[in-house]
A = this chain, B = another copy of it.
Amino acid sequence: MITYKLIVAYDGTHYSGWQIQKNSISIQATIEKVLSKIFKEPITITGAGRTDAGVHAVGQVAHFKAIKKNYKNLHKSINALLPPAIKVVSIETADPLFHARYSAIGKEYHYYIHTGSSGDPFTYPYSYHCKAPLDLVQLQKGAQQFIGTHDFSSFANGAPLKLATKNLIRTISKLEVLQNGNKISLKFEGDGFLHKMVRNITGTLLEVAKGKISCDDIIPIFAFKNRSKTPAPAPPQGLFLMKVFYPGEIQSL
């Protein structure tokens, strides 16, 4: 069996998310259908992160195993069959032990926000439109409190019992807040992110930036160790999985 590593970009607007679900079209299922057709064998792919419905990716990573090898124009053939909202950026053979999810040592996510009263018809599927004015100084000050190693239970979605058995400690190595006119971007880097963690953190920071809660409220929210006091997650359309980090290098096709 040959192991392949894919880097995938997609506009998640009209998909039910990465993972296969009943009665709706997922990114994963769409790619698997194309690969199975090309390889003429049933292909199952594993993604580095399961992005939710409406969330986008510039650098999602996935792997799969196939019996056959060495297809001519493999990259072009895949993209020719994929819908325009999903594109394979690169495809390489990988070490047989490579696993898109378990081999990953870090991820980078961006969350985009635009402010102002009227919104932009060309930005709304790729950025969260926040009509309320945002205090950038408070937003940046609040962001500092998430950097470092913490128990992120209060920022993880999932069933409480299931969460209770999990390791919910993660390290955020970078959380930059950048502004360009009415556009604000939050750039997250860390060793791993729990389900909806980026959106839960962004939702909390938005409440800080709106003045609804203060930076001092963040430590008590962490201490609660569940989501009962955490503000609502920011909506999916502003979120992009930018990059997945792996140790070492992988052989190019």
Chain A residues at the B interface, C-beta cutoff of 8 Å:
9-11, 56, 75-76, 79, 84-89, 117-122, 124, 126, 129
Contacts and interface: CB of A to CB of B under 8 A. Distances in A.
Contacts of A119: 79, 84, 87
23 contacts: A9-B120, A9-B122, A10-B121, A11-B121, A11-B122, A56-B122, A75-B118, A76-B117, A76-B118, A79-B117, A79-B118, A79-B119, A84-B121, A84-B124, A85-B121, A85-B124, A86-B121, A87-B119, A87-B120, A87-B121, A88-B118, A89-B118, A122-B126
A86 B88 CA distance: 31
A185 to B, nearest CB: 15
A9 B120 CA distance: 8
Nearest to A14: B14
A87 B89 CA distance: 33
A157 to B, nearest CB: 25
A56 B120 CA distance: 13
Closest 8 pairs between A and B when the two form their complex, measured CB to CB? A84-B124, A11-B121, A79-B118, A85-B121, A87-B121, A9-B121, A10-B121, A87-B118
A126 B119 CA distance: 18
Contacts of A122: 9, 11, 56, 126
Contacts of A86: 121
Nearest to A237: B84
Nearest to A124: B84
Contacts of A129: 84
Contacts of A75: 118
